[in-house]
Amino acid sequence: MSSTSPLLLWCCLYLCLATTTIYARLQPRNLIVDSNSSAKEFNRRNLLGNGLGRTPQMGWSSWNHFGCNIDENMIKGTDDCWAEGNRDSQGNMVAKGSTFPSGIKALADYVHSKGLKLGVYSDAGTQTCSKQMPGSLGHEEQDAKTFASWGVDYLKYDNCNNENRSPRERYPIMSNALQNSGRAIFYSMCEWGDDNPATWASSVGNSWRTTGDITDDWNSMTSRADLNNQWASYAGPGGWNDPDMLEVGNGGMNFGEYRSHFSIWALVKAPLIIGCDLRSMDNTAHGILSNSEVIAVNQDKLGVQGKRVKQYGDLEVWAGPLSGKRVALVLWNRGSSKADITAYWSDIGLDSSTVVDARDLWAVSLSFILLYFIKFIVFDITIY
């Protein structure tokens, strides 16, 4: 059984298989399937003992859209370029006076007053990637205490200018420093996946990059999804694979491609870090990024990373277990023409006789449907 739609994937789910006609590079389908299946085993590992990251981090970062053009008015988080080029006479990092005249402590206080948390950026090297501020290599204890004294909640720790020293040597030093800082600080390791951090970083950080930097185009996004997929079994509560930030809203991809981007990142329990200018974000991007049911898949308490379970050419099935005996399913056509995708229950770990309650998570409000001429079908069948 199959069906077609000019913009949105349709889906027909019944008993043993799911078939849909999907147009090229349109959004994948996220479905919630209630079943009696249990989570597949995944690699258990020693966890960083800071109690953070029980679900993937969500937020906003300045880097993808603004680069070094930041100031304290961009209040939700900062990336590179926030500090002066040199440390003070005591060796401390100092906020750049021209762009952060109030200092990072005042910025953190403001952010906290809004019920948000503040992240800063540093580097496991002698300088950050922009070479406009010092890195923390050799200053880990001092910088960790400085960040804690400012009320920082999150550290993104990059990998530039690293003196060709192993990340397995450099990243644990900052991890220990943060744990000794007197404040719980989420540790986001940006090691670029060079030394397969998924295999060793769970006791070091709360998340670790599995890829190089993303750019705002289809090939970059899909290649990072592919690279990240191989490490699915290593992710879980307390430590997450990170294929880099979201590009939704930056303008380099179309509606369907951005919906694909957000759907896959949500399914694979990637950090959902928005990278566009929130002040000028259009309704299309807002509609994608604010889908609460897709976000709920990402934040599901079971914390098992979804992965690709079937591939034939450009047609793919991705799936992963959720809490409450549910399964999330994505049918993804990455080709240039429409095609039918069939997902059998066996592809997602279900018995062929399983009866499900299935919902399309992109079946959105009427106003959104009219705006984008989206058609949808919803199956709501009580499990027997």
Pairing of strands 315-322, 339-344: unpaired
Whole-Å CA distances, 293 to 10, 46, 232, 290: 18, 30, 22, 9
Cα 32 to the center of its chain, rounded Å: 20
**Among 298, 319, 294, which Cα is nearest to 37's?**
319
Catalytic residue (choose from 71, 109, 213, 357): 213
Pairing of strands 326-333, 315-322: antiparallel
d(C-alpha 361, C-alpha 373), whole Å: 17
Q: Three-state DSSP class for 300? A: coil
Gap between the terminal Cα atoms of the chain = 22
Cβ–Cβ under 8 Å, residues 173 and 131: no
d(C-alpha 189, C-alpha 167), whole Å: 10
Backbone angles phi, psi at 141, to 5 degrees: -60, -45
d(C-alpha 28, C-alpha 9), whole Å: 7
Any catalytic annotation for residue 300? no
Catalytic residue (choose from 34, 80, 158, 242): 158
d(C-alpha 208, C-alpha 71), whole Å: 27
Structure tokens at 260: 């694909």
Helices within 180-308 (DSSP H only): 218-229, 255-267, 283-289, 292-298
Return the ∠ at Cα 24 (arms to 6 and 14), rounded to 5°: 70
d(C-alpha 38, C-alpha 27), whole Å: 27
User: Which H or E run includes 187?
Assistant: strand 186-189
Any catalytic annotation for residue 158? yes
Instruction: Point out the residues that are catalytic.
Output: 158, 213
